[in-house]
Structure 1
């Protein structure tokens, strides 16, 4: 299954340079990883989520749901990091006359 197939099935589309990897973690567990491409042969893990399969849904639906959960968590983490960076602008002494 390609990235286009996952997106067509309902998984969130990732930005350029990122991709999904579905891998087996043990005999009966799967995990969806969001990875950032680092050069031609290497990649770095950005976020992951275990595939929780239920009998009420197909395997494809389980994979897409795990992609969505990993994407939501990754986006939430990015928002938290951006909020923290915004607050670090206020670190330091604040002179009552307007200087820092």
Structure 2
């Protein structure tokens, strides 16, 4: 299954340079990862467990996990952006206006 197939099934589309990886774990479960492609390797940016339910198809379970991973990634980016905005105020603030 390609990323285009996942997106057609309802998974969020990722920006250029990012991809989904569905992998098996040691505890007989699946994980969905969002990874950033680098020159030689890829870097994990978000992941979540796949919850398999008897009333859902495998595709639905994977798409829901892709959606959760994407939302978690976006929330983490918002927190990071907020932190970077606050760091502009780091340092001493001279009450006389500085010299």
TM over 0.5: yes
Stretch deviating more after TM superposition (26-35 or 63-72): 26-35
Stretch deviating more after TM superposition (18-27 or 44-53): 18-27
* 1:15 aligned partner: 15
State the Cα distance separating 1:27 from its structure 2 match.
5.8
Normalised by the length of structure 1, the TM-score is 0.93
Q: How many residues align?
A: 99
* 2:33 aligned partner: 33
Normalised by the length of structure 2, the TM-score is 0.94
Q: Which runs of 5+ in 1 are unaligned?
A: none
Q: How does 1:51-62 map onto structure 2 within 5 Å?
A: 51-62=50-61
* 1:49 aligned partner: 48
In 2, Cα distance between equivalents of 1:74 and 1:3 = 17
State the Cα distance separating 1:97 from its structure 2 match.
3.0
State the Cα distance separating 1:50 from its structure 2 match.
0.6
